[in-house]
Chain A
Amino acid sequence: MATAPNTNDAAKQGSGQGFVYLPLIAGWLVPGAGHFLLRKWGRGALLSASVVGMFAVGIAMQGQLFSGAHEILDVLGLAGDLGNGLLYLVSQLMGWGADQVKVTTADYGTRFIVVAGLLNVIAAVDAHNLRTGRKS
């Protein structure tokens, strides 16, 4: 009898046991953690390095962290920033980033931070797909 061709080791190990959304939530809170939970060490390391690196470059460029939602664009920026998970919370607590964007590189930095959050969401969803066996 034929077996499903797309099932992977992680899905086999995790099917029917544990919380199916754990890699998704872990991957959102800590970049790459979702893949680490599924023992995808290489992918997790690369994703973690990319997201954390992009976020760090954004902070180093004095990018702004969105903290309030006064305008519609601020809401979108805040949504993107929240995709960074704990990185965003820690940065807010530590007071990193700029209060106001004054130079061009700071504007780029703000975009780097937002895009890092969006990429982290993509990575977390990828971990969820690996967990459910939708992707190998």
Chain B
Amino acid sequence: MFKPSHFAAVVLFALFASVVFGITQRETPQRMIRYGIYCFLLFVGSAVALSWAMFFIAR
């Protein structure tokens, strides 16, 4: 059984979803790459930010 850490799971999810979003939501290869990177950073960044928010709320 594959047991990634929570962060690894977030990174895997962001990677796969960002590739599909980048290819399907933009028309030129350069814009696809830029949008894919943008989505990846938003996925991972929002997960990290929300995790810290929950950490401080729970204290």
Contacts and interface: CB of A to CB of B under 8 A. Distances in A.
* Chain B interface size range: 10 to 19
Given A105-B2, A105-B3, A108-B9, A116 B16 contact: yes
* Main secondary structure on B side of the interface with A: helix
B2 A60 contact: yes
Given A105-B9, A115-B13, A135-B27, A57 B20 contact: no
* Main secondary structure on A side of the interface with B: helix
* Chain A interface size range: 20 to 34
Interface of B: 1-4, 9, 12-13, 15-17, 19-21, 23-24, 27
Interface of A: 43, 46-47, 49-51, 53-54, 57, 60-62, 103, 105, 108, 112, 115-116, 119, 122-123, 125-126, 135-136
